[in-house]
Amino acid sequence: MRTVLVAAAVTAVGVAGIALVALVPSNRPEFTVPDHFPTLDAAEVAPAPAGEPAVATFGSGCFWCTEAFFQQMKGVTRVVSGYSGGTVPNPTYEQVCGGRTGHAEVVHIEFDPKAISYPELLEVFWRSHDPTTLNRQGNDVGTQYRSAVFYHSERQKQLAEAYKAKIDAAGVYRAPLVTEITPFTAFYPATDDHQNFYRSNPDQGYCRVMIGPKLQKLRKVFGDRVTAE
């Protein structure tokens, strides 16, 4: 499980890589990007109405990982790590990790809809984590790691629900998706040391062992839809 202790190890000077590698469980499951993934076709995607928000908020486990995935996508203009879906305003990282706030770790994404669509962002979201495990991603366990879409409009809600149903119908995963699809209410950015985490710490233990390999697999899957390294 990624804990506050892990976060402290990452930011420690000199011993971060060694300390963190020791904290990564050796029995972590191998990440597999699903093949033959369904997409929403043109008939299933109504044109965006005037004023449709060009923002998205997703929770898919550790936001250090999720941020890195979306930062590589062409058309994504900004990704901010933080918290949504809870009851405590302006929560701290320690509070959220303790499961006392109801918040999920999320990324708040701004994007250019002429370069990448909301359904394409949903595809990245669902292919970059395991949406069948309730309140868990790998060895990270707790409601803060739940799979969640926080929609900003009725259109986003309809697209997310339609896509979720299509994935289940296609039998992509061995179990049904448990992703919650709920209205966006508030977003609280994490502190600066959690922003641009992978880009700022590519050689740290957690980034090297957990994020880097997953990122390379996703880059192969999405091909020319990702930015140059």
Domains of the chain in start order, with CATH, are 34-199 (3.30.1060.10)
CB distance 104 to 84 below 8 Å: yes
Cα angle for residues 113, 117, 120 (degrees, 5° grid)? 155
Residues forming the active site = 62
CB distance 63 to 106 below 8 Å: yes
Read off the pTM: 0.88
CA distances from 59 to 10, 16, 126, 197 (A): 22, 26, 10, 16
Q: How far apart are CA 218 and CA 216, in angstroms?
A: 5
Q: How far apart are CA 102 and CA 96, in angstroms?
A: 7
Q: How far apart are CA 32 and CA 14, in angstroms?
A: 32
Neighbouring-strand partners of residue 106: 82
Amino acid identity, position 119: P
Local confidence pLDDT in tens for the 229 residues of the chain: 454 434 444 443 333 333 344 444 445 456 677 878 999 988 888 888 889 999 999 999 999 999 999 999 999 999 999 999 999 999 999 999 999 899 999 999 999 999 999 999 999 999 999 999 999 998 899 999 999 999 999 999 999 999 999 999 999 998 999 999 999 999 999 999 999 999 999 999 999 998 999 999 999 999 999 998 6
